[in-house]
Structure 1
Amino acid sequence: MATALNTKEYCANDNEKSFFDILKDCLSKDFLFYAGYKNNFDSNSGDIDFIVLHPSYGLWIIEQKSFRLDNLIEVGNTDKWLVKRGIREVEERNPYKQANDNSNYIKGILGKNTNLTNNEGNYKGKLKFPINHFVVFDEMPEKDLIKANNIYSEKMTLAKDFIYNKQKDESDWENKFKSLRIHSFLCKLSNNDIEEIKKTLGISRAIVNPNLKEIGVTDVRQENLIKDNFNQHLLIEGPAGSGKTIIIVLRAIEIKIKNPEWNVGIFVLTKFMANYIRTLLSAYKQSLGDIDIKVYDIFEFANSNCIEKPDYDKFKKLNNKDYFIPALLSAIQSGIKDDSKLDAILV
């Protein structure tokens, strides 16, 4: 079973989620893969469906398409294909060229890390490992791909009939991936090399206990938010499920590690969320030791640590619908007890 570096929720559609499960189940444990990669800090970054890594074979960049034969109207070795989407005919990027462009893009990112390039010889300055690419057609068997203007390329295509062949085991899948290479690899990536690749692409995992239980996944954008400038205010916005909680927890830990003398506190609105975050922090103690980060729900903090306690009745009598907000603000403005003051606050 392969190691997934994130979850299938990062996939763009159900077909990609299905292929995510197939990769996880059919590749051996030496394979690592990541779904739905995008560098949010670079407007030139495309959406990359899958990145697969193996220490003995290098990287593959995968573009997945769910075309059927009757969807393909005009295809070939051109920049654009004319395809049918529902009742409409639309132009779409040639998936082979898209996979090639994405491969070159990843090559450019990784090539900036000198720990991943050769420092001598004929290939000085070049990556120490190859980056290959191919296209997955999960709805088309080889015979249909050959019919479609002979677009089938054995070294650059994974077709439906292989993907869903129940007789194929891990060794068959490994051999298939080995065959989907234009550039071979004579060396082997060390664990440090693999960690450098993950760090450079920003696809590291959040591990919280010795059992390697994954509680959250951080992408490029989130990794940068966790480690962004600690000497200024930072506002993080996003919808439910976008990872704000894990960013706050990891950012608090990062601040505390870099500034062990600081008093760091996390504030939330409810006791439930406070207890949840305390649970996350206690899990990190397994590997980082005692992390002295205080977690409060705002009502608890105001009652125990403000010079004046919140007077909810006073503001309730003013017919203020959200009376607890001005009551809390009034208590905080009265001042904080000296032994409760914090150097860094995450809300």
Structure 2
Amino acid sequence: MAVTIPENIRSSATAGERLFFRTLKTYLPDDYIVYYEPEIQGRRPDFVIIGPDLGVVVLEVKDYTKNTLFQINNDEWQIVSSSGQNAFVKSPMKQARDNMFHVVDALKKDKSLVQLDGKYKFQLKFPYGHGVVFTRLYSKDFVEHGMYSVIEPSLCLTRDEIDPDKEAFSEEVLMEKILNMFVVPFRLREPLSIEDINAIRYHLFPEVRISAEYKQPVPYQDQLLLSLHDIKTMDLHQENLAKQIGDKNRLIRGVAGSGKTIILASRAKMLSKQNPDWKILILCYNISLANSIQQMITHMLNEPEDLFDFDPNSKVVTNENIIVRNFHSWLKNDLRIKEHQLPTIIEKVGKKEAILPTYDAVLIDEGQDFEADWLRLVSSLINVNTQSLLLVEDRAQTIYNRKRSYLQDTGLSFQGRSKVLSINYRNTHQILTFAWDFYRKHSLFKNKVVKGDLDGEIIAPQSTKRKGPEPGIIKAKNFFEETKMIARQIMKLHEEKKVSYDEMLILYRVKKTYQTPIIDVIKKALTGTNLPFYWITENDVSKRSYEKEDGKIKISTIESSKGLDFRAVFIVNIDSMPFPLVENKEREVSLFYIGMTRAQEYLCLSYSGESEFTNYLDDIREERKQVKTGVEKAN
């Protein structure tokens, strides 16, 4: 079954379009992508099909009947409208062909998609074709009326070739015809790679870009072209969600690393673009995440539709109608309310005795950390005509005791208006498995873990796409030695694996203990090896001023790292977890899980003392040692 974008065809589509949509979805291979009415730089072809062994095919769909057509030629068709009036329209084949070349011109600008030598030099390195689908005309109609003299048989599909209910229908014939809809017929020697398909999607459909990764292009074309080999795109499931969330109140529940924040930011951009007069509010719990979302949206709004037509002199677009705040900053600075006043204010708003700003749309990240009164206040300030509220959460990352009933808290039902994201894309398989094994062993909620069931508490991550090294475990004699070892590991990653300093994060649980000034020792170890660093959680100012791409290693509490991710993460002083002064052990389990799942590729865990969590890590170190010894003996 092919992937279709959107997942379902719009209700106003013609009967013929709906039939063809179902047929493509059902009978094309699993690794084919079918776009219905995508907007490609100002044009909307009916269907675009991308396949690894196919290339790209652009199709137009027509519901013409024999009675509709009066006279046809290669360029122009005279048709009879339903009112009986004659009209001249562009030949649908010419229309499909023009749309195809529009697509080709957009893709040729990327050298990675172009033949650099040989017979087809400077042409796309994969086939591209076009065709027309006639949903109400049969092959015999074309023969009887001599239509094949104007329409090339290999470039059109008729009703009997697309309708599975017709006796003449054949899955093999459908595939064969689509595979041969090429003016310059050549088959791919090797299937298109995932990178090639992502590059095609990236250029044709800008909204699939992960805009947080976008960097302003350099002025030199070749350097820019080379940089496009590192394009990152959203997963198809995320892309569909960003487009298909729907209006009014919605809930997205997802595992760590499933792209929840990206979807939320994409949703905000889409709402802003569609409704420039709307006042849009984004809320989250921690300051550094609010800052990160602010930067992500600024990138998104300034990302050019076509990277190659980028104007370096263009004005920076600011998100004037999108407000991004952490909850307490919004409460204090925007509403000028103290938290203890919330019950009174909520009551006054309900009675229309208090005047507070209203918002046309509100989007909440890390919703599991919001208290009931926070949600009641926020939902009371949403425009009653739009009722646009998007809540995003992951209960495995809950670090506060919040009893959750969204219907009671917001007055809005999310029944049938929810989506589950169970696939983790951030972490490698090794990191995710390690983190999830820890969570399942230590969480009090392990018996409430579900797979995709909205009635459950915790969503189990289903799978991840990438492989990598096992998380490293370092046990040192004391914390001073521990930080020196971490500094050496950082230097090694930077020199041998080319991991930039600003893609590394050091996480700590507490700033200092009665025995050790944790932060001071970390800073001293980094300074002693001339490693640049930025302490995100030094104070509120440092949290708001944090910029990821500043060439510096970041230092943060685990709590403030929620929503962030880095290529390499070092969690130090794990012997302080679970923190003895915290009664709620479940919070400590969630924090450690959150910390581990910040790592995209490399994770290193270090300690020099003893605790429940380090005992668990000791057991893993011993298991690894035994496995290694067994392998060495076997060899």
Normalised-by-shorter TM-score class: 0.5 to 0.7
Structure 1 residues 125, 302: CA separation in 2 closer, same or farther (over 3 Å shift)? same
* 1:154 aligned partner: 153
DSSP-derived class of the 1:83 partner? strand
Structure 1 residues 117, 307: CA separation in 2 closer, same or farther (over 3 Å shift)? farther
* CA distance, structure 2, for counterparts of residue 63 and residue 11 of structure 1: 18
DSSP-derived class of the 2:154 partner? coil
- TM-aligned CA deviation for residue 99 of structure 1: 0.6
Q: Say if 2:201 and 2:208, in contact at 8 Å, map to a contact too.
A: no
Greater Cα offset, 136-145 or 303-312: 303-312
- TM-aligned CA deviation for residue 139 of structure 1: 1.0
- TM-aligned CA deviation for residue 161 of structure 1: 0.9
* 1:104 aligned partner: 101
Q: What is the 5 A alignment of 1:186-265?
A: 186-187=188-189, 188-202=191-205, 212=237, 214-217=240-243, 236-238=272-274, 253=293, 255=295
Q: Say if 1:26 and 1:169, in contact at 8 Å, map to a contact too.
A: no
Residues 244-265 of structure 1: CA deviation (Å, up to 9, x unaligned): 999xx9x965835999xxxxxx
Residues 25-52 of structure 1: CA deviation (Å, up to 9, x unaligned): 111213211111223xx5xx43211111
* 1:325 aligned partner: 357
| Root-mean-square deviation (Å) | 4.8
* Alignment partner of 2:80 out of 66, 81, 84: 84
Q: Say if 1:302 and 1:309, in contact at 8 Å, map to a contact too.
A: no
Q: What is the 5 A alignment of 1:1-347?
A: 1-9=1-9, 13-15=13-15, 16-39=17-40, 42=41, 45-77=42-74, 79-87=75-83, 88-150=85-147, 151-166=150-165, 168=169, 170-182=171-183, 183-187=185-189, 188-202=191-205, 212=237, 214-217=240-243, 236-238=272-274, 253=293, 255=295, 294=326, 302=335, 323-325=355-357, 339=540
* CA distance, structure 1, for counterparts of residue 237 and residue 271 of structure 2: 30
- TM-aligned CA deviation for residue 267 of structure 1: 5.8
Q: Say if 2:63 and 2:135, in contact at 8 Å, map to a contact too.
A: yes
1:86 counterpart letter in structure 2: S
Q: Say if 2:61 and 2:134, in contact at 8 Å, map to a contact too.
A: yes
* CA distance, structure 1, for counterparts of residue 342 and residue 110 of structure 2: 54
1:161 counterpart letter in structure 2: D
2:243 counterpart letter in structure 1: V
DSSP-derived class of the 1:215 partner? helix
> How much identity, in percent, do the aligned residues show?
23
DSSP-derived class of the 1:236 partner? helix
Q: Say if 1:10 and 1:36, in contact at 8 Å, map to a contact too.
A: no
Q: Say if 2:64 and 2:137, in contact at 8 Å, map to a contact too.
A: yes
- TM-aligned CA deviation for residue 212 of structure 1: 4.8
* CA distance, structure 2, for counterparts of residue 23 and residue 245 of structure 1: 39
Structure 2: which 5+ runs fail to align?
211-233, 245-261, 283-288, 300-321, 359-376, 378-538, 547-635
Q: Say if 2:107 and 2:203, in contact at 8 Å, map to a contact too.
A: yes
Q: Say if 1:76 and 1:149, in contact at 8 Å, map to a contact too.
A: no
* CA distance, structure 2, for counterparts of residue 235 and residue 25 of structure 1: 32
- TM-aligned CA deviation for residue 5 of structure 1: 3.3
* CA distance, structure 2, for counterparts of residue 6 and residue 203 of structure 1: 15
* CA distance, structure 2, for counterparts of residue 90 and residue 30 of structure 1: 41
Structure 1 residues 254, 133: CA separation in 2 closer, same or farther (over 3 Å shift)? farther
DSSP-derived class of the 1:7 partner? coil
* CA distance, structure 1, for counterparts of residue 281 and residue 119 of structure 2: 47
2:112 counterpart letter in structure 1: N
DSSP-derived class of the 2:174 partner? helix
2:200 counterpart letter in structure 1: I
DSSP-derived class of the 1:48 partner? coil
Structure 1 residues 172, 142: CA separation in 2 closer, same or farther (over 3 Å shift)? closer
DSSP-derived class of the 2:36 partner? strand
DSSP-derived class of the 2:103 partner? helix
* CA distance, structure 2, for counterparts of residue 210 and residue 38 of structure 1: 19
> In the comparison of the two structures, how many residue pairs are matched?
280
* CA distance, structure 2, for counterparts of residue 245 and residue 181 of structure 1: 48
1:174 counterpart letter in structure 2: M
DSSP-derived class of the 1:37 partner? coil
Q: Say if 1:10 and 1:35, in contact at 8 Å, map to a contact too.
A: no
Q: Say if 2:23 and 2:164, in contact at 8 Å, map to a contact too.
A: no
Structure 1 residues 169, 205: CA separation in 2 closer, same or farther (over 3 Å shift)? farther
Higher relative CO (CA 8 A, sep ≥ 6), structure 1 or 2? 1
Larger Rg: 2
- TM-aligned CA deviation for residue 10 of structure 1: 6.0
Residues 304-342 of structure 1: CA deviation (Å, up to 9, x unaligned): 6699989969x99xx99983339x9xxxxxxxxx95995
Q: Say if 1:267 and 1:297, in contact at 8 Å, map to a contact too.
A: no
- TM-aligned CA deviation for residue 141 of structure 1: 0.6
